[in-house]
Structure 1
Amino acid sequence: MHLTAPATRRTGIRDTDGMAVASFVLGLIGLLVFNVFLGPVAITLAGIALYRGTRRRGRALLGLGLGVADLLVLLAFVQADGTVSWSF
């Protein structure tokens, strides 16, 4: 009986879709706070979701772009302040 295989497949796709959405949300939040941590996490989640074949490819690509933007914002503030932390 192969009843478990389709359920496992759907769960795997749902997991990768969740990773794509999580990368987008974390990348977006990372533009404001904790970009030193949330940027790499967003990049990693987006990469895994894209590698596993998510149906939310656009959301994963946005998460990837936002994760990179998080690190660029951090780099800009480090260059301006000379410290790793910044505030509004």
Structure 2
Amino acid sequence: MHLTAPAVPRTDTRPRMRDADGMAVASFVLGLLGLLVLNLFLGPVAVVLAAVALWRGTSRPGRACLGLALGVADLVVLVAAMEMSGTVSWSL
């Protein structure tokens, strides 16, 4: 008599990893773009995407960390430009 283990549903983590990798890349691109335009909006979005990508275990942690740093830099640039211009918005 041969005993077999009960069938365990196989969970595939590749789609979740792929989503996390996409979030890491999107965070990097939005953070980079946010240095030029819409940094009030793109900075926080880049930070959130990077944090979620790191939390989900992306295979691109360097890209996610760069996206996180660029998102924070977006907000720092916005605050510095607002202080220099004395307004809530800024332009080049």
- Provide TM-score, normalisation by structure 1: 0.91
Identity of aligned residues (%): 65
The residue type equivalent to 1:36 in the other structure is L
| Superposed CA RMSD | 1.1
Once residues 59 and 26 of structure 2 are traced to their aligned partners in structure 1, the CA distance between those partners, rounded to angstroms, is: 14
Aligned to 1:38: 42
Structure 2 stretches lacking a partner, 5+ long: 1-6
**Shift of residue 70, structure 1, vs aligned partner:** 0.2
Aligned to 2:57: 53
The residue type equivalent to 1:43 in the other structure is V
> Which structure's residues are more often helix, by fraction?
1
Larger Rg: 2
Once residues 48 and 88 of structure 2 are traced to their aligned partners in structure 1, the CA distance between those partners, rounded to angstroms, is: 21
Structure 1 stretches lacking a partner, 5+ long: none
Once residues 25 and 49 of structure 2 are traced to their aligned partners in structure 1, the CA distance between those partners, rounded to angstroms, is: 9
**Shift of residue 85, structure 1, vs aligned partner:** 1.7
**Number of equivalent positions:** 85
- Provide TM-score, normalisation by structure 2: 0.87
Q: Which moved more, 1:75-84 or 1:63-72?
A: 75-84
